[in-house]
Amino acid sequence: MQTKILLPEEQMPKRWYNILADMPPMDPALHPKTGKPVTPEDLSPIFPMELIRQEVAADRFIDIPEEVREILALWRPSPLFRARRLEKHLKTPAKIFYKWEGVSPAGSHKPNTAVPQAYYNMKAGIERLATETGAGQWGSALAFATQLFGLECTVYMVRSSYAQKPYRKSMMQVWGAECLPSPTDRTNSGRQVLQGDPETPGSLGIAISEAVEDAATHSNTNYSLGSVLNHVCLHQTVIGLEAREQLAMVEEYPDVVIGCVGGGSNFAGISFPFAGDKIKGTKPGTDIVGVEPSACPSLTKGLFAYDYGDVAGLTPLLKMFTLGHDFVPPAIHAGGLRYHGDSPIVSRLVHDGVMRAVSYYQNEVFEAAQTFARTEGLIVAPESAHAVKAAIDMALECRKTGEAKTILFNNSGHGDFDMSSYDAFYQGKLVDYEYPAELIRQSLARLPKVG
């Protein structure tokens, strides 16, 4: 009876899977000022050329540099677990597997892309990276990665999360990064937001504006993003590639693949290899489910339209599901899922019916996390708990129908620095907030006019 499925280190993926090779052509990213398709030259002030190449690559597989693989081997391949105690507790015929990404030094899936991004910027002669972070998972990961390659790092952390998760800031400082509560008075975009609302909780869109502005105004600095963009999703596919091999070791293939969704990086990582199988017709029946908070329901209530990735309109226009670039979500505890848009690739796959999305309230998500901790032992991040909730719901549905489905979800990170969130849950302070439909309509009405 195998519970932990380990892939030998020598079988760690040597190539990333690029799902764009198996999809219809994507809508191009557009320049925020001209409205014309973005060129490599447009992106070169903030990204190294190799990442720009990966952003538009048509190759099905892209080699992982040996220097990157040597660092990834500190925690990869990550383990795949069979959640037998959870299955028994739920009295379900379903088999529940989860990929455990909390074993990385930063405690989440984020270093899977932070390491290659830091590597390619180092190779390009860049001295400092600027970035944003929501709950602090991404900021921690980039701080870790830049330290390994001798780069400086500046992190703009969403103000509400900066207050809720102080030890994430401490982690970044241990790894030599500067962490600032966003919005700040250091950038024009930050000052503009503070002038309009000095008490704003901040948002990822605001923090992105600050980081992009920082990078664009300093010649030694590039911008680094932990989600949304194609090259980020590409780097995360090591998760799904490993999971597929690990399931094959026990003669399984998932009927359902689940991941939480903010910008889309961990969901893309677990799902893209399986979505590729579905697109190619080898496994057409796989149910691929993205899970988001009801307080920030971009996939379930947003529009599939062109929008900016940030509040100030500094980023290219991306065709994605969006709630509007000036949407400021409430300060829920799943800080990494508080983003107005989504990965263009994930958005397109949801739009085309390859994937689907569901949303949940905070309290039911934390109840699921508690059930998971009391059966499997792991205290997971609030973001990851959304995937746990969906997996439990699927397993309970199998109990009703008698179907013995194989369920796979990405357990994207630990909750060791999120105990204030659990404290709020136990004190009854979590609000089951659903963003008002009228405010969403108002935000969507302010989308940029394209075409």
CB 108 within 8 A of CB 239: no
**Among the ranges given (10-14, 210-214, 332-336), the one the predictor scored with the smallest mean pLDDT:** 332-336
The CATH number linked to 238 is 3.40.50.1100
Distances (CA, A) of 163 to 52, 203, 298: 34, 13, 25
Final residue of a domain: which of 228, 243, 262?
Answer: 228
CA separation for the pair 36, 195 (Å, rounded): 32
* Average pLDDT of the segment spanning 33-56: 94
Map residue 339 onto helix, strand or coil: coil
In this prediction, residue 331 carries a pLDDT of 65
Final residue of a domain: which of 172, 203, 228?
Answer: 228
In the chain, the number of structural domains is 2
My answer on whether 354 and 373 are in the same domain is yes
My answer on whether 97 and 137 are in the same domain is no
My answer on whether 162 and 93 are in the same domain is no
My answer on whether 370 and 418 are in the same domain is yes
Q: Tell me: the pLDDT tens digits for 80-118?
A: 999 999 999 999 999 999 999 999 999 999 999 999 999
Share of the chain above pLDDT 90, in %: 83
Strands 178-182 and 152-158, bridge-based pairing:
parallel
Closest CA to 338 of 198, 227, 187: 227
* Average pLDDT of the segment spanning 352-367: 97
Map residue 383 onto helix, strand or coil: helix
Residue 355 inside a domain? The answer is yes
What domain range is 170 assigned to?
14-64+110-228
> Over the chain, what is the mean pLDDT?
94
Residue 292 inside a domain? The answer is yes
To 5 degrees, how large is the angle CA 187–CA 190–CA 196? 140
In this prediction, residue 68 carries a pLDDT of 98
pLDDT over threshold 90, residue 374: yes
pLDDT over threshold 70, residue 334: no
CB 78 within 8 A of CB 239: yes
Q: Is the peptide bond before 183 cis (omega within 30 degrees of 0)?
A: yes
Closest CA to 204 of 81, 310, 360, 312: 310
